[in-house]
Structure 1
C-alpha cells in the first residue's frame, strides 16, 4: 500500500467560505466513492491555527505505484486539481504503508 498525503494552503486573501473553495471541497469529498483505486480516503479542514499550519488535508491510500498513477490521472481527480489550482497551493508525500 502507498499512503498519499496532500496538505493545501489557501492563497493570500482566499477564505474557506469562498464559493470556489466550497466547490473544491465538495469535489474532493466525493473522490473516495468515484475512484476505484482508492482503498482509503478522507479529507477535511485543519483545526490548528498555528502559523505553520496548512488549511486542508487529504489522507488516502492505494495498492501500489500503478494504482497511484491511475488515481492521479483519473478525470475526477484532475477536475478537483483544476479547481484547487485557482485558489491554493499544496505539498504532497507518498510513502509505503
Structure 2
C-alpha cells in the first residue's frame, strides 16, 4: 500500500470562507467516493495554530504505484487540483506502508 499525504497552505489573504475555498473543500470531500483506486480517504482543516502548520490536509491510500498514477491522472482529481491551484500551494509525501 502507498500512503498519499497532501498538506495545503492557503495563499496570503485567502481565508477559509472564501467561496473558492469552500467549493474546493466540498470537491475534495466528495473525491473519496469518486475514484475506485482509493482504499482510504480523509481530509480536513488543521486545528493547530502553530506558525509552521499547514491549513488543510488529505490523507489517502492506494494499493500500489500504478493505482497512485491512475488516481493522480483521474479527471476528478485533476479538477480538484485545478481548483486549489487558484488559492493554495501544497506539499506531498507518498510512502509505502
Is the TM value for this pair above 0.5?
yes
Provide the C-alpha distance between the structure 2 equivalents of 1:35 and 1:22, rounded to a whole number of angstroms: 21
Unaligned runs of 5+ in 1: none
1:51-70 pair list within 5 angstroms: 51-70=51-70
Hey, which bits of structure 1, 4+ residues long, moved more than 3 A? none
Task: Say what the alpha-carbon RMSD is for the aligned residues.
Answer: 0.2
Q: Provide TM-score, normalisation by structure 2.
A: 1.00
1:71-86 pair list within 5 angstroms: 71-86=71-86
Unaligned runs of 5+ in 2: none
Q: Provide TM-score, normalisation by structure 1.
A: 1.00
Provide the C-alpha distance between the structure 1 equivalents of 2:39 and 2:31, rounded to a whole number of angstroms: 11
Q: Would you say how many aligned residue pairs link Structure 1 and Structure 2? A: 97
